[in-house]
Amino acid sequence: MAIDYQAILETIYQEVQPLLSQGRVARYIPELSKVSAQHFGMAVFCLDGRRFTVGDAQTKFSTQSVTKLFALSLAFEREGDAIWERVGREPSGNPFNSLSQLEYERGIPRNPFINAGALVINDILAQRFAQADMAVLQFMRVLADDQKIDFDRDVALSEQRHAHRNTAIAHLMKDFGNLRNPVDVVIASYCRQCAITMSCEELAKAGSFLANHGSIPWNGTQILDYSSAKRLSALMLTCGTYDVAGDFAFRVGLPAKSGVGGGILALVPGELTVVVWSPGLDAAGNSLAGVMALERFTTLTGRSIF
């Protein structure tokens, strides 16, 4: 029996309405604090080309840490397993912007999805491309089949002006020899990368290559081989939702990557991608309504990896 995804999205949309006032938008990036917490959008992109949306699914938002997934995919596609010499593959168990763990692990970030790890990935890309942030942007344009996707320059500038902790992280890794490019270059590039804006619908399409085991579903272009796509999906499951990845796996049961802009990209391998956006965050920095929406999605569809 075919799943009525549209009806399920509309049910979820109604169920999460009371949660929209309970989360708090990110305030440490002033430009993000201007976004209303009342937004909610959700999009499903099936590998056979079907699409389903509800709410603000066409509204562009700051993808923030969701871009770490695409930067990692690009770095892994270019460098392969060499990247694991500079960044680990374990859950951090600490906040995404923690310095303490980095200190006693001598500048090697625990995984690519915490800020320290994302800075190393950006540094790796800067050794391959003239501008790492432009390389990530162009990569995401190709994956979404949309050349109009761009940065929000106000968000990028706001983030760069308040990047004190990320700058400290970068300097610490530089001191341990795990950052090759100048700190200010890496920080500026990382802030622009995080300021890429997309809608739920665009982001779901861009992430579909991972659900399709590494190849773009509508043209067959191979981005990653099957094994590499599997490994990145495993990292999403164990590390993609900050220091509550275990609880997210327990509740939702899908590989996912979240961002403090309120977006979450999740995969049902071999079937679809689903993206939700709601700017109000929980204490860990994940979208409060978004996590509940994805939990309800896997419950109502009966689709998870377990």
Catalytic sites, residue numbers = 65, 68, 190, 242, 260
| DSSP code string of the chain | ----HHHHHHHHHHHHGGGTTTSB---SSTTGGGS-TT--EEEEEETTS-EEEEESTTS-EE-GGGHHHHHHHHHHHHHGGGGGGTS--S---S-TT-SHHHHHTTT--S-TTSHHHHHHHHHHHHTTSS-HHHHHHHHHHHHHT-TT-EE-HHHHHHHHHT-HHHHHHHHHHHHTT---S-HHHHHHHHHHHHTEEE-HHHHHHHTHHHHTTTB-TTT--BSS-HHHHHHHHHHHHHHTTGGGHHHHHHHT-S-EEE-TTSEEEEEETTTEEEEEE---B-TTSSBHHHHHHHHHHHHHH--S--
Alpha carbon distance 32, 127 (integer Å): 30
CA gap 12, 174 in Å, rounded: 45
Phi-psi group of 302: left, alpha or beta (phi > 0 → left; psi -120 to 50 → alpha; rest → beta) = left
